[in-house]
Amino acid sequence: MATAVLQATIALDHRKEPEALQRPAPALDSGWYVVQVKPRQEGRVLRRLALEAVSTFLPFIEVSRRRGPEKVRALEPLFPGYLFVRLPPIHEEPASWNKVRWTPGTVRVLSVGDTPVSVPADLIRAIEERTSELGFVRRPSSLANGMRVRLRSGPFEDLEAVFDRPLSRAGRVRVLLQLLGQPRPVEVDEDCLELA
């Protein structure tokens, strides 16, 4: 569990770095490539590549973890063991590729034979668009407004409610619970809901 907290710290620390350090201006003909890294070394490789002025992208996703009896929210890489780098073609700037290949924690650049496989820029853009202002991808809620739900835990356990909407806070939602003869808004953790 300490790893998830560490990864969340890495994600937040990374967002505090100057924009120029996070995303240096890439060459016009550069493309996105996938770098495989050693387990749980994504943040380390990301920081080292940023110091080498290599444009990187490491999307995070918010997850729930059990820590004893409690559920805690943490950030983990969306693609554990991988990050994206933006580089010019290998034949134009082999020095940039060597920076990536020889960065401590790097396993390899995904390739077919000796040719690195590029990732479509549209895919990177789509992931970036799904990234919240906090710097991570949120899992879409499977609940829609007006759905009947049952609370699985907490003070209102086993009561039915109507799903109202997700809230801006991580994993919290608002449901309408019938209390004192009227529907009352109640904020709960989305994980404690099930379809009625």
Same domain for 36 and 125, yes or no, is yes
Residue 138's pLDDT is: 66
Domain that holds residue 157: 148-195
End-of-domain residue from the set 113, 137, 161: 137
Same domain for 116 and 36, yes or no, is yes
Residue 113, number of CB atoms within 10 A of its CB: 6
53 within domain boundaries? yes
Same domain for 85 and 32, yes or no, is yes
CATH number of domain containing 170: 2.30.30.30
Work out the burial of residue 170: count CB atoms within 10 Å of its CB; fewer than 13 is exposed, 13-18 middle, 19 or more buried: middle
Number of domains in the chain: 2
Residue 170's pLDDT is: 61
pLDDT one digit per residue (tens) for the chain, 196 residues: 333 333 444 444 444 443 333 444 455 568 999 999 999 999 999 999 999 999 999 998 877 777 777 777 788 888 999 999 999 998 898 999 999 999 999 999 999 998 899 999 998 998 888 887 667 776 656 777 888 998 888 788 888 999 988 876 567 788 998 887 888 888 888 878 888 7
Same domain for 110 and 157, yes or no, is no
CA distances from 152 to 83, 138, 168 (A): 37, 22, 22
Residue 111's pLDDT is: 92
142 within domain boundaries? no
Same domain for 12 and 81, yes or no, is yes
Residue 182's pLDDT is: 85
Same domain for 100 and 7, yes or no, is yes
Same domain for 13 and 53, yes or no, is yes
Same domain for 129 and 154, yes or no, is no
* Side chain identity at residue 106, one-letter code: T
Residue 15's pLDDT is: 43
End-of-domain residue from the set 88, 105, 137: 137
End-of-domain residue from the set 96, 117, 137: 137
143 within domain boundaries? no
- Phi and psi at 12, nearest 5°, equal -70, -40
Same domain for 30 and 99, yes or no, is yes
Residue 62 bridge partners (DSSP): 75
Residue 141's pLDDT is: 62
Question: In this structure, are residues 188 and 175 in contact, taking their beta carbons and an 8 Å threshold?
Answer: yes
Same domain for 11 and 88, yes or no, is yes
Residue 100's pLDDT is: 94
Considering only CA atoms, which of 28, 24, 33, 85 is closest in space to residue 58?
85
Same domain for 75 and 32, yes or no, is yes
CATH number of domain containing 53: 3.30.70.940
What is the residue whose two structure tokens read 């996938």?
Answer: 34
Same domain for 103 and 23, yes or no, is yes
What is the residue whose two structure tokens read 């086993």?
Answer: 158
